[in-house]
Amino acid sequence: MNGRSEFSADLNSLLISLALHLAVFGILWAVGRQWLNSTVNTNIEIIKSSVRVDLVSMPKFTLKELEAIQDLPHVEETVTKEVVEKAPEVTDEKDVTFKTKATSFDDFLNSQSNKKLKLKKKVEVKIKVKKENPLFGINKKELEKIIHAGNKISKGIALTGDSDADIKKVESEKYITGLISRIKRYWKLPSYLIDEDLNCAIRVFLKKNGNIIKLSIFESSGVKEYDEKALDAIKKAGPYDPLVEQIADRGARGDFVVGFPL
Amino acid sequence: MKLLICSICLILLSGSLFGQTGFIRMGVGKADLEADRIAIPIPLKVGNFSVPQSMAIKEIYEILVEDFSYYKKDFEILAPDRLPYMHIKRSNFFEPDYKSLSRRNFSYTFHLRVKSLVLGKNGPKTQDIKVDARVYRVRDKKLLLEKEFVISSGKIRKGVHGIGNDIYTSIKNKQSIFNSKILFVSDQGSQRGHQIKELFIMDFDGRNSRQLSRHNAVVVSPAISHNREMIAYTVIKKSGRKKTVDLYMHNLRTGRMRLLSNRPGINSGAVFTPDDKSLLLTLSYSGNAEIYQLNLKNKRITPLTKHYSDDVDPSISRDGRMYTFLSNRSGRADVYTAKMGKAESGVKRISYVGKFNATPRYSPNGKYIAFSSWVDNRFDIYRINSSGTGLVRLTKNFGSNEDPSFSNDGQFIVFTSQRVLSRTKAIQNLYIMDKDGEILGRLTKGFGNCISPRWTH
């Protein structure tokens, strides 16, 4: 009897000991994993901050050339259909609506030449221009890529780049940044207004193809000329690039509000 | 810049930016300046004029229009032949027709009335001309300037530059480039086997050049003081095997020239500090080229750099707090900035690209640094923010371009451009461009090879 009870007591002790060991091991494992994760994350952050710079060479293009590239008209197909999207109701009374004239690349080339070119010779003219001007010898999108690569020391976007949401967000951000920089090129004020502490905001309604549907004054500066200069800047900067998928529907809703200056 | 940062912050902070509801608000930042349209009617003549005086009046008008055409980003001037006396009320030359001016979007109008200056009892004894100048702002019908000038027959250009500067200042509340000058070095007068380079000075527009030095040697790296009274420059002389690279000082007021520093090695690349009491320069007497501050009163030198690499070519910011220089401490010639004061204080590398960078020069407001860089077997001029961001190229396909120097107002850059004429021959001239790289024209022609331009402050 004694021997049996001793065996039973030993077994209990063994089980308790095993359970305690397992518990301690479990705690250590959990803490260790947490520590390991945080260390890895910290290391990733350190690496991110150290490597998220795209090293570049000296700029290939001059400031003037970059301006010329940005001035190239937006190339698009001729619009044959009226607006499908209906703009939502706008409470502002001072709506400004206008139509934008569609232009083609051939039209642009023609406008650059003093001679009236015949339609048959169009292909020849294109080749000629490509040879004469290196700017037109490259696709505009390719040029923009070169500008990004060669003229800016810019932060990288992400370390891994595997997140679809991140990529979409980046595309939207890139579109908005492009939109702003385009408008900024035409945002000019006379000397007597440039130092005034004024601010206005314009609501922009865009088609999916980047054409302006209409503009409305969202917040007025109180100075008519200032508001008109802001409207002019948006008009002159258009038509814009086609809206990216993530914000395609928001253009027609008039969700874009452009502040002058903020 | 602040506005730009705020704009970006606005985009980032708008939580609903890429959500599906709410507005996407974005800020475009500060506006650029729109060019002001200016009417400059031809001067109204009062009284009788001699033939030379009539020609001088024509010249006065042409110089004034030419001066303002340099600021073509700020001002739009209509062709003079389209503005004889229009926009002036018939009853009074000084009464602008604001209605007509406003309708044609003019911002300002300059009115000049000229009179023959008669001195002496027996008729005109001088060819001098009195100019009554007025500037009106169309927007609020305000008279901005009303001033009389006397233009001497022998100093027409100088006189008109003065009028132009007063007109510009009345509109912009700051100085123009019209009264500024450019120092440069030319090898005009060199003979085969004996090269000489002497110091010259000319108006900002390339006119009225005159020789300042006569060393019959090679002059390099000139600099002019902020009060325009002193010029420091280096003279390279060879006698037999011995070669000296010494620093001289030329007093423009007295015409005196004196030796300032003849330490062993290089005594070169001097620039005046904003108070004109000292110079920053490169000395190599220690065996290594370093940048020093030389006190002009007691001639004491204080080291500003202390590095085993060579540090050369300093340029100081207008507020005197920072200087930029060239150093090969990275393994190649790169641009650095540092704080004035103790040696090696706040040294920061600015350029990270370019095979060989040279001649960094601060803009007057300290915002930019222009420098040249060796790309595609030639030098071209680049501009970078003094913080090290915003690197942009200014010249391309325009010969080999070096040695930029900002104008006193920071709006223009003078530089040298070399054209290869044959295998053994090339010509170097001075050109002017605006700070964004738009070439405005050549300043020197038929003046030999012109190098080292320095714009007066």
Cα–Cα distance measured from residue B356 to residue B412, given in angstroms and rounded to the nearest whole number: 24
Inside any domain, residue B385: yes
Residues making up chain A, counted from first to last:
262
Residues of B in contact with A261 (CB under 8 A): 3, 7, 27-31
Point out the least confidently predicted range of B108-112, B114-118, B235-239, B282-286.
Answer: B114-118
CB neighbours of B96 closer than 8 A, spacing ≥ 6?
B87, B88, B89, B109, B111, B136, B138, B141
- Taking CA–CA distances from A169, the nearest residue in chain B reads B18
Q: Does A180 touch chain B (CB under 8 A)?
A: yes
B349 and B426 together in one domain: yes
Domain's final residue, options B172, B192, B216: B172
A115 and A79 together in one domain: yes
Check CB contact under 8 Å for A172 and B437: no
B164 and B221 together in one domain: no
Domain hosting residue A198, numbered range: 63-260
- Taking CA–CA distances from A180, the nearest residue in chain B reads B28
- Whether residue B272 has pLDDT greater than 90: yes
SS (H, E, C) chain B: CHHHHHHHHHHHHCCCCCCCCCCEEEECCCCEECCEEEECCCCEEECCCCHHHHHHHHHHHHHHHHHHHCCCCCEEECCHHHCCCCCECCCCCCCECHHHHHHCCCCEEEEEEEEECCCCCCCCCCCCEEEEEEEEECCCCEEEEEEEEEECHHHHHHHHHHHHHHHHHHHHCCCCCCCCEEEEEECCCCECCECCEEEEEEECCCCCCEECCCCCCEEEEEEECCCCCEEEEEEEEEECCEEEEEEEEEECCCCCEEEEECCCCEEEEEEECCCCCEEEEEECCCCCCEEEEEECCCCCEEECCCCCCCEEEEEECCCCCEEEEEECCCCCCEEEEEECCCCCCCCEECCCCCCCEEEEEECCCCCEEEEEEEECCEEEEEEEECCCCCCEECCCCCCEEEEEEECCCCCEEEEEEEEECCCCCEEEEEEEEECCCCEEEECCCCCCCEEEEEECC
* Total domain count, chain A: 2
- Taking CA–CA distances from B433, the nearest residue in chain A reads A64
Q: E strand or H helix at A179, and its extent?
A: helix A164-184
A151 and A243 together in one domain: yes
Phi, psi of B206 (to 5 degrees): 85, 0
Q: What is the pLDDT of residue A83?
A: 34
A197 and A122 together in one domain: yes
Check CB contact under 8 Å for B31 and A62: no
CATH of the domain at A148: 3.30.1150.10
CATH of the domain at B138: 3.40.50.10070
Check CB contact under 8 Å for A255 and B373: no
Domain hosting residue B422, numbered range: 181-455
With CA atoms as reference, report the closest residue to B31 among A100, A167, A262: A262
Q: Does A247 touch chain B (CB under 8 A)?
A: yes
Query: What confidence tens digit (pLDDT) does each residue in A83-92 have?
Result: 333 333 433 4
B399 and B254 together in one domain: yes
Inside any domain, residue B417: yes
- At residue B176 the predicted structure's pLDDT band, cuts being 50, 70 and 90, is very high
Domain's final residue, options A9, A24, A51: A51
Inside any domain, residue A15: yes
Contacts with B, A 45-64, CB within 8 Å? 55-64
B241 and B309 together in one domain: yes
Q: What is the pLDDT of residue A262?
A: 86
B138 and B263 together in one domain: no
- Whether residue B254 has pLDDT greater than 50: yes
- Whether residue B137 has pLDDT greater than 90: yes
B355 and B232 together in one domain: yes
B312 and B409 together in one domain: yes
- Taking CA–CA distances from A67, the nearest residue in chain B reads B436
Inside any domain, residue B3: no
Q: Running DSSP on this structure, what letter comes out for residue A155?
A: B
Inside any domain, residue B240: yes
Point out the least confidently predicted range of A72-76, B34-38, B260-264, B401-405.
Answer: A72-76
CA dihedral B348, B354, B358, B359 (to 10 degrees): -60
| Local structure of A71: helix, strand or coil | helix
A26 and A103 together in one domain: no
User: What is the pTM assigned to this prediction?
Assistant: 0.72
- Contact A85/A213 with Cβ under 8 angstroms? yes
Domain's final residue, options B135, B150, B172: B172
A212 and A247 together in one domain: yes
Query: What confidence tens digit (pLDDT) does each residue in B322-341 have?
Result: 999 999 998 889 999 999 99
Inside any domain, residue B324: yes
Check CB contact under 8 Å for A180 and B437: no
Give residue B410's region: left, alpha or beta (phi > 0; psi -120 to 50).
Answer: left
- At residue A120 the predicted structure's pLDDT band, cuts being 50, 70 and 90, is very low
B284 and B207 together in one domain: yes
**Which of B26, B141, B379, B436 to substitute to test the interface with A, most A CBs within 10 Å?**
B26
A239 and A110 together in one domain: yes
B411 and B355 together in one domain: yes
Residue that wins the pLDDT comparison between B80 and B401: B401
Inside any domain, residue B160: yes
In chain A, DSSP assigns E strands to: 95-97, 188-189, 200-206, 212-219, 256-260
Q: What is the pLDDT of residue B124?
A: 52
A201 and A87 together in one domain: yes
Query: What confidence tens digit (pLDDT) does each residue in A147-182 have?
Result: 444 444 444 444 555 556 666 677 888 888 888 989
Q: Running DSSP on this structure, what letter comes out for residue A189?
A: E
A2 and A121 together in one domain: no
Across the interface, of B26, B353, B391, the residue whose CB is closest to A176 is B26
Residue that wins the pLDDT comparison between A112 and B58: B58
Point out the least confidently predicted range of A223-227, B10-14, B136-140, B445-449.
Answer: B10-14
**Mean pLDDT in chain B?**
88
CB neighbours of A72 closer than 8 A, spacing ≥ 6?
A108, A140
ipTM value: 0.76
* Total domain count, chain B: 2
Inside any domain, residue A249: yes
B76 and B146 together in one domain: yes
Inside any domain, residue A58: no
Domain's final residue, options B172, B205, B237: B172
Q: What is the pLDDT of residue A126?
A: 42
A116 and A227 together in one domain: yes
B227 and B134 together in one domain: no
